[in-house]
Amino acid sequence: VSEVKRVHGPATRRQATAAAVPGLDGHGRGWTRVQPPLSVYIHFPWCIRKCPYCDFNSHALGTGSGPDEAAYVAALRAELESMLPQVWGRRVETVFMGGGTPSLFSGEAIAQVLSDLRARLPMAPGCEVTLEANPGTFEAARFAAFRAAGVTRLSLGVQSFDDARLHALGRVHDGAQARAAARCALQTFDAVNLDLMIGLPGQDSAGLDRDLDEALALAPPHLSVYQLTLEPNTVFHKYPPVLPDEDTLEDISGRALQRLAQAGYGQYEVSAHARPGQACRHNLNYWTFGDYLGLGAGAHGKITGPDGIVRTANHRQPEAYMQAAREGRAACETRVVGEGEAGFEFMLNALRLREGFSPELFEAHTGFPFALLEPGLARAGSRGLIERHGPVWRPTALGWRFLNDLQSEFLPPNPA
Ligand SMILES: C[S@@+](CC[C@H](N)C(=O)[O-])C[C@H]1O[C@@H](n2cnc3c(N)ncnc32)[C@H](O)[C@@H]1O
Ligand code: SF4
């Protein structure tokens, strides 16, 4: 996704898998940039119908019609082929198939996508391979086929178990489908994440408790909890639903955090809660400013090479993407991340992490000196938003609560 909104292991392991690229910095000095771990994100841009709150690159198919799987899988293969020179010799640590609704695709199509990837890039032993699924497209045989194809982790968009809340969200599934899909996911995969949304129209603390009772009774290894936001260019932005008032929202989110912690889930990132050892390695790679190939309609990528950090963004419309990918030009935007932006982009990610970050991580994964961050750290520190624990910088509780404020301390200076 997904992912920007919403990536592991200790620093020593990350560094052990990294390769060094010699180069020159902007001042003509020789330096060695470390290539961070490499992930692959693959976007599947279709859903049965568009949810009124959703600003992801997802396009409604309607019931009864499916995506043109063969054409899309061929386009992904063509794009991968065109991107290979950017990642020669590198190993894939994690894969994430997000959407949209990847679970609209058949087990055979997902198996083909993964075998196309394995045939062209080395995969790390124990590579984490996540697929996002919607309970409305749930079939037990399909989950089994995803597992046989090599998916190791299923992320299920439950949102709520309450029919009224699901209806208000315009979801295609109901509570019974959410329960059935979650049980089947837990029987089929060792690693499972359930997405829950809070602050829903008509939700109060008692309603949140009912959702958490059900989610915790299932005992998934990982839970992601997102507060509903009204995003520009969505139906909810134009016709806002009545949301819980500020006090109720505070109650709901405070209570959710407290109950998850009591149930043994560590909040390792703003929205992510996991049992020990069950954090999502793919998302951790984003948040520690790792590299990723972004394949598929509207996908974004970040690859560190001899010219520095290169970001790519693909054509968003599925047809335009497929045509462009076949012609070897899936990306419609490519830019090198300059010194001014690197600090801010790193902090947009790293400040989401409970464990914070070290100067070594910043220098290794951006190729820029830590001194770039020092003015912002001093300002944020004086406001009580960030603090240092030995070599590690961590947001304070206040900083996490006002994360946008904290992140904005690292905005690049306006060009003169
Ligand atoms: C892109 S969706 C992919 C999963 C799948 N399409 C689904 O919705 O079941 C990833 C997650 O983002 C969250 N999400 C999407 N839009 C949101 C919004 N406006 N506010 C809060 N969370 C949102 C939902 O929890 C959703 O499960
Ligand atoms: S199913 Fe998921 S990706 Fe599709 S429209 Fe709804 S929230 Fe967005």
Residue 100 Cβ < 6 Å to ligand 2: yes
- Amino acid, res. 301: G
Separation of alpha carbons 14 and 32, rounded Å:
17
* DSSP letter string, 249-315: HHHHHHHHHHHHHHTT-EEEETTEEE-TT---HHHHHHHTT-EEEEESTT-EEEEEETTEEEEEEE-
Centre of ligand 1 from the C-alpha of residue 281, in Å: 19
Angle in degrees, 0-180, between the axes of helices 205-218 and 246-262, rounded to the nearest 10: 20
Q: Tokens representing 378?
A: 């001093």
Q: Tokens representing 399?
A: 């900083």
Ligand nearest to the CA of 53: 1
Residue 132 Cβ < 6 Å to ligand 1: yes
Mutate to test the pocket of ligand 2, among 43, 101, 158 (most ligand atoms within 8 A of CB): 101
| Beta pairing partners, 99 | 44
Ligand nearest to the CA of 155: 1
Q: Tokens representing 137?
A: 């497209």
Residue 157 Cβ < 6 Å to ligand 1: yes
pLDDT of residue 153: 98
Q: Tokens representing 160?
A: 């709520």
Q: Report which ligand 2 atom has the smallest distance to the Cα of 100.
A: 3
Ligand nearest to the CA of 102: 1
Residue 189 Cβ < 6 Å to ligand 1: no
pLDDT of residue 30: 40
Q: Report which ligand 2 atom has the smallest distance to the Cα of 172.
A: 1
- Local confidence pLDDT in tens for the 416 residues of the chain: 333 333 222 222 222 233 344 444 444 444 446 789 999 999 999 999 999 999 999 999 976 778 999 999 999 999 999 999 999 999 999 999 999 999 999 999 999 999 999 999 999 999 999 999 999 988 999 999 999 999 999 999 999 999 999 999 999 999 999 999 999 999 999 999 999 999 999 999 999 999 999 999 999 999 999 999 999 999 999 999 999 999 999 999 999 999 999 999 999 999 999 999 999 999 999 999 999 999 999 999 999 999 899 999 999 999 999 999 999 999 999 999 999 899 999 999 999 999 999 999 999 999 999 999 999 999 999 999 999 999 999 999 999 999 999 999 999 877 65
Q: Report which ligand 2 atom has the smallest distance to the Cα of 170.
A: 6
Residue 99 Cβ < 6 Å to ligand 1: yes
Centre of ligand 1 from the C-alpha of residue 157, in Å: 7
Residue 58 Cβ < 6 Å to ligand 2: yes
Residue 228 Cβ < 6 Å to ligand 1: yes
Widest CA span in the chain: 62
Q: Report which ligand 1 atom has the smallest distance to the Cα of 6.
A: 12
pLDDT of residue 416: 53
Mutate to test the pocket of ligand 1, among 3, 4, 5 (most ligand atoms within 8 A of CB): 5
pTM as predicted? 0.92
pLDDT of residue 415: 62
SS3 202: coil
